[in-house]
Structure 1
Amino acid sequence: MLRYLALSLVLVGTLLAADESAEFKLVAPDSWGGETISLPPGFAPEMTLKGEEHIRFAPGMMKASSDTFFTYAFVFELEKKPELKDDLIKDEFLKYYRGLCTAVLNGARPDVDPEKFTFDLENEEPDANKAEDGSFPAGTHVYQGKLTWVEPFATRAPQTLNIEIQTWTSGNRNYLFACVSPQTRKAKIWKELHKIRDTYLKGHLKIGP
């Protein structure tokens, strides 16, 4: 699965920095794949965010029949500018997913118009979605998002992704952590995604119990 994803991205000109021989920035079960991508990525060069994206893919990431299809967690480790405001996050996510779909489809679905993709983003109070075994860093902004797009890898069909986002600043860097899945937020996979997120917070940022 991971090789298929990486190969697809490489073939469409995406510059990937594989993490296969290094320790993953995000701790996840051994069955989860992983990558590191430079930001802005090759498939969305118009993004303004600069830094690195660390990703962990659920085992069923590329299996349309799996209950973990297109389920993954990622963190953007970013330069301190620009500030991660609501409108910027929404705009950057649309650029990312529109670019990804366009690059992977590579003209195979001329009827698909990425400009019609939508991303609804809502602010939440941090306590409404706080870390399950700790707390988010001070100043954390918490969002619930819903992305409608065309999944370009396995089905090439319309898909809705549920996305949980936390953003914060630490030192001279901005951080954006996202948990992504088409599964409803009551599905058990979200506990696994939250565990990956919370482990990153405790280990990388030295917070929590």
Structure 2
Amino acid sequence: MINPKTIPFFIIVTLLFIGGCKKEESSINYLSAPDNWRKETIEFPLSFAPSINYKGTEYVRFAPGWGKEGAEDYFSYAFLWYLDEKPTLSTTVLESQLEDYFIGLMQGMVKSEPDATKKVTETKAFFEKIDNASYAGKVITYDAFTTKKEVALNIIATYIECNSIDKHLVIFRISPKEIDHLIWNKLNEIQITQDCEK
């Protein structure tokens, strides 16, 4: 396992896209992205991570090259937790939740792979607080979908209180590429289509 306890993020860059909701007509998925970004919707409790004990929905948008080894946008995607209650977010909570999330996500894929279960359970998450609403982190896990190798994912998580509908939103933008890579321009353009203004 690689062990980057320090997270090489460009914090100033992250502050450029921290923020809120974009007023749009909502549709099946509350994340706006180009049409070729695949959509997925999952209800809480998540079947693969039931320890993340929220009520609500997860909305996901996958970059076109998400499952393509060597693609510039490999494993790059965003997901939104659209929650009924305010989550208790902290570096410790996010580390625990994202470890459970990725362990559960990958374990369902590795049952027939020798030694892969051990690699999945070695998943580690590290987060730092940027401000009162945002966190920068890294998850080191096993890509059971595509490469069958370890992958280090950079993650920006931002909390938004959506007073207009009494919901609580957490958007996660994820890529193994560093924050200064062009894929982050596309990830940062993904917006929430729910109007959260009072």
Q: TM-score normalised to the size of structure 1? A: 0.74
Which one has more relative contact order, counting CA pairs under 8 Å at least 6 apart?
2
* Structure 1 alignment gaps of length 5 or more: 1-21, 126-139
How many residues are matched? Answer: 168
Superposed CA offset, 1:8-66 (max 9, x none): xxxxxxxxxxxxxx633211111110100112211122222231100000000110121
Quick one: distance in 2 between partners of 1:57 and 1:39?
A: 19
Quick one: distance in 1 between partners of 2:76 and 2:128?
A: 20
Q: 1:163 aligns with which of 123, 139, 155?
A: 155
CA contact (8 A) 2:54 2:85 kept: no
Which residue is equivalent to 1:72? 77
Which residue is equivalent to 1:14? none
Q: Does 1:205 align with 2:195?
A: yes
CA contact (8 A) 1:84 1:174 kept: no
Quick one: distance in 2 between partners of 1:29 and 1:147?
A: 26
Which residue is equivalent to 1:11? none
Greater share of helix: 1
Alpha-carbon shift at residue 191 of structure 1 (Å): 0.8
Alpha-carbon shift at residue 76 of structure 1 (Å): 0.2
| C-alpha RMSD of matched pairs (Å) | 1.8
Which residue is equivalent to 2:126? 120
Superposed CA offset, 1:60-81 (max 9, x none): 0110121111100111011215
Classify the secondary structure of the residue corresponding to 1:105. coil
Which residue is equivalent to 1:177? 171
CA contact (8 A) 1:122 1:144 kept: yes
CA contact (8 A) 1:38 1:53 kept: yes
Q: CA 1:204–1:56 in structure 2 vs 1: closer, same or farther (change >3 Å)?
A: same
Q: Does 1:193 align with 2:178?
A: no
Quick one: distance in 1 between partners of 2:121 and 2:135?
A: 23
Letter in 2 for 1:183: K
Classify the secondary structure of the residue corresponding to 1:34. strand
Quick one: distance in 1 between partners of 2:81 and 2:161?
A: 12
Classify the secondary structure of the residue corresponding to 1:104. coil
Quick one: distance in 2 between partners of 1:106 and 1:25?
A: 33
Alpha-carbon shift at residue 93 of structure 1 (Å): 1.0
CA contact (8 A) 1:112 1:150 kept: no
Q: CA 1:164–1:68 in structure 2 vs 1: closer, same or farther (change >3 Å)?
A: same
Superposed CA offset, 1:86-109 (max 9, x none): 322221111110101111112424
Residues 1-209 of structure 1: pairs in structure 2 closer than 5 A:
23-113=28-118, 114-125=120-131, 141-171=133-163, 172-196=166-190, 199-200=191-192, 203-206=193-196
Q: TM-score normalised to the size of structure 2? A: 0.78
* Structure 2 alignment gaps of length 5 or more: 1-26
Which stretch of the first structure deviates more once superposed, 187-196 or 103-112?
Answer: 103-112
Classify the secondary structure of the residue corresponding to 1:204. coil
Alpha-carbon shift at residue 111 of structure 1 (Å): 4.4
